[in-house]
Structure 1
Amino acid sequence: MKKILSVVVLLITLVTFTFASPALAGDASKGATLFSANCASCHMGGRNVVNPTKTLQKADLEKYDMYELDKIKTQILNGKAAMPSFGKNLTGEQIEDVATYVLSQAEKGW
């Protein structure tokens, strides 16, 4: 009986952590407003007008190893290639909010 209970607890734990969405720490609703004001001109609807192959869609974020809150925050903070840095325009909290919004929208399919 004890062995069966252990197996059940293990299975529940595995399923919970395997299929859980990424933990989001920021405020997605605030991030939506900031995204509209700062990012939407290039990334409307999760697209990328500068480099259409690198969108904010979940599949592309995963493909380019960017489907993590910290990696998206770093990209917003520092910029990369044609994307400018927003480190001087947005606070750390605002960057967290935008990154949270991007991940939540990617999860929803924009």
Structure 2
Amino acid sequence: MKALLLSIYLTVWFVIANPFPASAANLANGAKLFNANCSACHMGGNNVIISSKTLKKEALDKYGMASLEAIRTQVTNGKNAMPSFRSRLNDNQIEDIADYVITQSQKGW
């Protein structure tokens, strides 16, 4: 019984913590979209405008940007020197870019 409860708990926790893992197709599309729209300023996860605000895990953590929601919001609305991409990219494309950025940050770019 304890094993069953533990199994259920872990399954629920995994689903809540990672409800929609990025598929390989989404990541490939995210990479393509990132290269076409973001790499001019963020090549290799760097930032040519504000060098401390990179897309690397440490910086994303430091500036409260280490979530899909935060990245989606930033790409959609822009902020400071970063323009909004709302008129250029649809929601699915923005989601793919966010998945790609999070995945790359976790891999160390």
Place the TM-score, normalised by the shorter chain, in its bin: 0.7 to 0.9
Residue in 1 that maps onto 2:57: 58
Residue in 1 that maps onto 2:38: 39
Residue in 2 that maps onto 1:28: 27
Residue in 1 that maps onto 2:79: 80
Query: Equivalents in 2 of 1:81, 1:89: separation in Å?
Result: 18
CA RMSD in angstroms, aligned pairs only: 2.4
After TM superposition, the score normalised by the length of structure 1 is: 0.81
Query: Equivalents in 2 of 1:64, 1:22: separation in Å?
Result: 24
Give unmatched runs, 5+ long, in structure 1.
Answer: none
Change in Cα spacing, 1:90 to 1:101, as seen in structure 2 (3 Å) is same
Tell which structure's C-alpha radius of gyration is larger.
1
Q: Identity across aligned pairs (percent)?
A: 50
After TM superposition, the score normalised by the length of structure 2 is: 0.81
Query: Equivalents in 2 of 1:78, 1:24: separation in Å?
Result: 24
Figure out how many residues of one structure are paired with residues of the other and give that number: 103
Query: Equivalents in 2 of 1:66, 1:21: separation in Å?
Result: 17
Change in Cα spacing, 1:23 to 1:66, as seen in structure 2 (3 Å) is farther
Provide runs of 4+ in structure 1 moved above 6 Å: none
Q: Which of 1 and 2 has higher RCO (CA within 8 Å, sep 6+)?
A: 1
